[in-house]
Amino acid sequence: MPTTQDIKVAVDAVVFGYTSKEGLSVLLIKRNIDPFKDTWALPGGLVGNDESLEDAVQRELKEETGVSINYLEQLYSFGQPGRDPRNRVISITYYGLVKPDAFQIEAATDAAEVEWFNIKRIPQLAFDHEDIIAAAHDRLKNKILYQPIGFELLEERFPFSELEKLYMAVLDRSIDRRNFKKKVVKFGFLEETDEKQALAGAGRPGNLFCFNQQKYFQLQKEGINFEI
C-alpha cells in the first residue's frame, strides 16, 4: 500500500543558562504569529531546502534571540502527529548550556520578546515545548554525571562552593558535598590556588580553585563517572 507523506522538518533549541545568583534558566521567545500567538516557546523554525540541520538551528537562534552559540548537541526528534496544528511537523531538537551574561539577547523575526526563565518558573508553552525542555533537562542531568561542566560557566578563579552550586542547580537536588569534592579533586581537572576568597563578613576565607584546561578537556572527551 502506498505511503502518503507530507511532512515538514523543523529545529528547536533548548538553551540552558546558568549563573550563581539565578541558578539554571531556559531561553524562551514570545511568539508574534499564529498559532500560539503571544505564547512563550523555544526558539526554532523550519529547515530551509538548502540548509543543514545545524545551520538551521543556529540561524533560527540568532534571528529570534540574538544569541550565537558555537556548539549545540542534538537531543531528540519529536514527531507526534498533531504537535503543530498547521502541518505534520517533525522537530529535530538541540540543547546547550551557556553563561547568560555572555550574550545580548534581542527578539526579532517571529519573536515579540525574548527572556531567560528560571527552570522552576517556566510559563505555559506553545506546541510540545514543555516536553522538549523536560527531555533536555533529563539529558543534561545525566550528562554531567559522566562529563565535567563549569569551565565556561564559572569565573577563572572561584570558591569550590560555586562548583557545588552549579551541580546542584543542574541536578535539582542536594549532593554529598564532602564526597563530591573528594571525587572532583581525584580526577585532577581542578587545581587549588593560593588566592583567597573575598568574604563580606566574618569567617576564615578559603582558597580559590581553577580548572586545569588540558585535563578538563581530556576528561570531557573521554568521559568519567562521578556517581554523585
Catalytic annotation, residues: 113
Phi, psi of 50 (to 5 degrees): -105, 15
DSSP string, 206-226: PEEEEE-HHHHHHHHHH----
Residue bearing cell 573521554? 222
Residue bearing cell 551574561? 101
Specify the length of the chain in residues. Answer: 228
Task: Quote the distance between the C-alpha of residue 58 and its chain's center.
Answer: 14
List beta partners, residue 7: 88
* Whether 57 contacts 15, CB under 8 Å: no
Half-sphere exposure of 63 (CA within 13 A, CB side): 15
Residue bearing cell 585535563? 215
Amino acid at 4: T
